[in-house]
Amino acid sequence: DQQVKQNSPSLSVQEGRISILNCDYTNSMFDYFLWYKKYPAEGPTFLISISSIKDKNEDGRFTVFLNKSAKHLSLHIVPSQPGDSAVYFCAAKENSGGSNYKLTFGKGTLLTVNP
């Protein structure tokens, strides 16, 4: 049961252009969404997050958009740089009211930024 889906296993863009990574979710109880970047042989690195009470969060070149009615979020990277080439994971946290921080991850999208 894929509660978090990243339907594009890979994406290739030219340096300087916009990269748009998409993520869909099915669990209405998710209230916090995150994007992680992962290089080979390294752990996931936190990139940006958004609470379900917002529809946009921006941090430098990275912007995350959340459409709750469509249960869809996207990560925009502008302008894309070759160093952005990595696997990007969408992750979500359920509002369980507990003290834990269980994340449900998507399968990831491999972004390749060509010089």
Partner 1 sequence: EPEVTQTPSHQVTQMGQEVILRCVPISNHLYFYWYRQILGQKVEFLVSFYNNEISEKSEIFDDQFSVERPDGSNFTLKIRSTKLEDSAMYFCASSGYRNTEAFFGQGTRLTVV
Please report, as ranges, the residues that interact with partner 1 according to CB under 8 A: 32, 34, 36, 41-46, 49, 89, 91, 96, 98-108
- The Cα 20–Cα 100 span in angstroms is 30
- The Cα 89–Cα 106 span in angstroms is 6
The nearest distance, CB 115 to partner 1, in angstroms, is: 27
The nearest distance, CB 33 to partner 1, in angstroms, is: 11
- The Cα 8–Cα 106 span in angstroms is 11
The nearest distance, CB 96 to partner 1, in angstroms, is: 8
- The Cα 78–Cα 92 span in angstroms is 23
Nearest CB to partner 1, comparing residues 55 and 59: 59
Nearest CB to partner 1, comparing residues 15 and 31: 31
CA atoms within 13 A on the CB side of 49: 14
Nearest CB to partner 1, comparing residues 101 and 115: 101
Nearest CB to partner 1, comparing residues 60 and 101: 101
- The Cα 92–Cα 101 span in angstroms is 10
Supply the DSSP symbol for 43. Answer: -
The nearest distance, CB 25 to partner 1, in angstroms, is: 13
